[in-house]
Structure 1
Amino acid sequence: MKYLNLKTGLNYIRVSDKDAQLNGMEYNVVSLFSGAGGLDIGLEQAGFRTAVCVENDLNCRTTLRHNRPEWLLFDHPTKVLNEKIITRAPGDIRHIDAEELLEFAGLKPGKVALVVGGAPCQPFSNIGKKEGENDAKNGDLFLEFVRMVKGIQPEAFIFENVAGIIQSKHSKVLQYMFEQFQGSGYGLSYALLNAANYGVPQRRERFILIGMKGIKEPAFPLPTHMKDQAAWQNFVKELDQVPNFIPQKWVSVKDAFSRLPKDYKSRNDYVVMNISDVVKHRMTFISQGKNFKVLPMELRPNCWKSGKHQGNDTFGRLVADLPSVTIRTAAYNPAKGMYIHPFEDRGLDIIEMAILQDFPLEWEYKTSGREKVTLVSGGKQIGNAVPPGLARALGLAIRKQISAKLESTKKLALPV
């Protein structure tokens, strides 16, 4: 059953754990811009199998190989072109052909269930320079995603990015993607989804574009979690029919931290930013939900005294009973956002960042050539990831729709 939002025109379907077993079929995934594996972990939980990954960051590849050695990683440094050996940066998607990627994974065009990926989001981020497709380094990588989908011809695809990609200044990106898939048999739908509404202990809005063969308007998963009953009522009043279930309450920071084992600080990937006594003293003035603006003027650094600094969450303390704010790549640094621990006068450590991003506790983060992960490397891997809980819900919704389409096709093929 689909639920139509009469205001936005988006379709939703209800998902559950049993959807991961529909048809009992193995659904292969080609993962692009894989990062530390957040999107792929969630899809794995939804019953998909990651057949091959493409990632150009060495530390991310090291993390993937450590945690999932069975996932193939395409990072060949050379290719043969016109009988010449061409060198290329390992994992650079600009120089990888869809055909060689499929051959490496033992797959064929049209025989892949899902292609997924989130091109580096800094060009479209509200935090970054917002250069979009004009960014010389990464702004054109959405073109490579389109090229790969057209070459692989999967049943469905997921393109993920920051919410800022829908701003009018970046309208050419979405226009290009819709034009490229027009007439190709893919129905397209896009939405901004809040990860907190899918059991992630973090209020993180992401842009999601779904394409599916033979389905005109792919549906998104109904929220499985909501802030409260009032928020749920506000959501369902725009639907053409009311779902017959009540979602769970948001998962809070306190809920997430309660899952941490007592000995987690002995892990090789545990690292926390050193904080001076002066900064710790400032933290004592910050209560949950407050930020640097409550500090006495004599305790503020000069850059916070002028009034020009307008950050609303800078040097803020997390609220324990709510999901966290968006975990960015430098969330270990309290000066970069609302990243002061809710109960202690310190910043977040790498494992706390990861659990707020909904990574499984057993997932370990690596820095190539080092025994212990570095703050910068761990922060980038975790902060750039798609929360597995959000990916899981998307995977369940897509699997359910693919399965329904296959069942419908079987019925049409039956003799009358």
Structure 2
Amino acid sequence: MEYTDKKSDTKYIETNTVQIPDGKFPVVSLFSGAGGLDIGLEGAGFRTTVCVEFDTDCRETLRHNRPEWLLFETSAKVVSGKITTRIPGDIRDIEVKELLDLANLKKGEASLVVGGAPCQPFSNIGKKLGKEDEKNGDLFLEFVRMVKGVDPKAFIFENVAGITQQKHSEVIDYMVDNFKGLGYGISHTILNAANYGVPQRRERFFLIGIKGVEKPSFPIPTHFKDKNHYQKFMESIGRKPENKFEKWVSVKDAFDKIPKDHVLRNDYALMNISEKVINRMKYINQGENFKVVPQDLLPNCWKNGKHQGNDTFGRLVEGLPSVTIRTAAYNPSKGMYIHPNQNRGLSTTEMATLQSFPYDWEFKVKSRDKVTLVSGGKQIGNAVPPGLAEALGKSILTQLQPTKSKSVEKLDQRFALNSPQTHHQQQLEVS
């Protein structure tokens, strides 16, 4: 059943009755990061065949947790008959055919191409240079290039909500125009992860395209702040509210499920806090920040009134989903990241939990047994919450024809004859 929001004109679709298939819907994953988007799609019934990721530590995390997800790490490339070298995982230097060959796919066989180009150029935190960012501002063009070459049945492009600002409008317009020219029906909106059972109020931009669907739908929210929030949404889509609904998952709900021995994990890390900083925390109740701390205990940069952040050095509210978990959420001075009941910051395990990563997902660092705060924070904070990704995946699967065609059956046979391990070995021999 599909519904349309009268105010935003966004279409929503129910997915609670979707039958999860057997994972034979192949995905080409770009800008894979630590795997959040791919984990969620896996839960929806998709199968990640190949990943492109620039960050070395993220690739170690993917390799450790899902060795069957092939990583494009080939450093050798033949140009005009000569062998040259390239940076492993640099999408700018990867040809579509190379990626399809590794995934054992032909053009048009992939169900999905997914990914979120690095979001810093469009974030509300930072310089907001957008496509003018010399380092990463043009990577959305690589996503468009890959979709053109892979020719999937559908795609998901993800980024920060800041990309919708007027100054970045030509980026969205460019992608929409190009994808429509390829025959995709296009929709884009901002989704709040808390509305899909993630214990975090995180808003992200999603642009989706599906062939044969004029205006694709997004997943109808499953969780709400309260009864009023639920009723207003139902009224906006013209649906009669029912008597029961799921409430947002809170920080306390999430933390209560973390095993007590999580501190023994190799990917557990916690920021060391000085006694001076701990003393400041003692004055802060849930939902409050540094502004309630006595002036004589504050650093000078917080005394002059120039720092106006409303969540800086704030304490989480345990009865609500957390604020957005960013890459430095382990550091209380970077946001509302003081533990709700203890005078400390958040551990990497708690950050991952608030991002809805499954507990058995382990974050790795190249050539180290223990994860570092910086690498762990970066991998977790940059990820798409798997819970949100799963909801989105189910909505797309609902709009794709879930019945197997003869071409899909042939594809299944090829997967059986050509195992991921075989392709991984071939890749190692070339690199």
- Classify the TM-score, shorter chain: over 0.9
Aligned counterpart, 1:66: 64
Distance of 2:217 and 2:403 partners within structure 1? 13
Aligned counterpart, 1:3: 3
Q: Which residue of the other structure, out of 109, 112, 124, is the alignment partner of 2:110? A: 112
Aligned counterpart, 1:130: 128
1:16 and 2:12 aligned: no
Of stretches 389-398 and 228-237 in structure 1, the one that deviates more from structure 2 is 228-237
**Equivalent pair of 1:19/1:396 in contact (CA under 8 Å):** no
- CA 148–367 in structure 1, closer or farther in 2 if over 3 Å, else same: same
User: What is the CA distance between 1:195 and its match in structure 2?
Assistant: 0.2
Of stretches 191-200 and 77-86 in structure 1, the one that deviates more from structure 2 is 77-86
Supply the AA of the counterpart residue of 1:81.
V
Distance of 2:114 and 2:332 partners within structure 1? 32
Provide the secondary structure at the position in 2 that maps to 1:85. Answer: strand
- CA 382–148 in structure 1, closer or farther in 2 if over 3 Å, else same: same
Distance of 1:34 and 1:243 partners within structure 2? 38
Aligned counterpart, 1:410: none
Aligned counterpart, 1:414: none
Please give the residue correspondences for 1:9-408 in structure 2 after superposition, counting only pairs within 5 Å.
9-16=9-16, 18-21=18-21, 26-242=24-240, 246-403=244-401
**Equivalent pair of 1:319/1:342 in contact (CA under 8 Å):** yes
User: What is the CA distance between 1:17 and its match in structure 2?
Assistant: 6.5
Deviations 1:78-98 (A, max 9, x none): 111210112110000001111
**Equivalent pair of 2:330/2:377 in contact (CA under 8 Å):** yes
Distance of 1:76 and 1:128 partners within structure 2? 33
User: What is the CA distance between 1:242 and its match in structure 2?
Assistant: 3.4
Distance of 2:161 and 2:404 partners within structure 1? 33
User: What is the CA distance between 1:19 and its match in structure 2?
Assistant: 3.3
Of stretches 11-20 and 166-175 in structure 1, the one that deviates more from structure 2 is 11-20
Aligned-residue CA RMSD in angstroms? 1.4
Provide the secondary structure at the position in 2 that maps to 1:182. Answer: helix
User: What is the CA distance between 1:247 and its match in structure 2?
Assistant: 3.4
Provide the secondary structure at the position in 2 that maps to 1:343. Answer: coil
Distance of 1:289 and 1:141 partners within structure 2? 37
User: TM-score under structure 1 normalisation?
Assistant: 0.95
Deviations 1:276-316 (A, max 9, x none): 00000000000000000111111111000000101100000
- CA 406–13 in structure 1, closer or farther in 2 if over 3 Å, else same: farther
How many residues end up aligned between the 2 structures?
405
Q: Which runs of 5+ in 1 are unaligned?
A: 408-416
Deviations 1:342-377 (A, max 9, x none): 000000000000000000000101110111000000
Distance of 1:215 and 1:406 partners within structure 2? 18
Deviations 1:9-34 (A, max 9, x none): 1110111274323xx57101000000
User: TM-score under structure 2 normalisation?
Assistant: 0.92
Supply the AA of the counterpart residue of 1:355.
T
Supply the AA of the counterpart residue of 1:5.
D
Percent identical: 65
Distance of 2:322 and 2:86 partners within structure 1? 40
User: What is the CA distance between 1:194 and its match in structure 2?
Assistant: 0.1
Provide the secondary structure at the position in 1 that maps to 2:181. Answer: coil
Distance of 1:67 and 1:57 partners within structure 2? 16
Q: Which runs of 5+ in 2 are unaligned?
A: 406-431
Distance of 1:262 and 1:142 partners within structure 2? 41
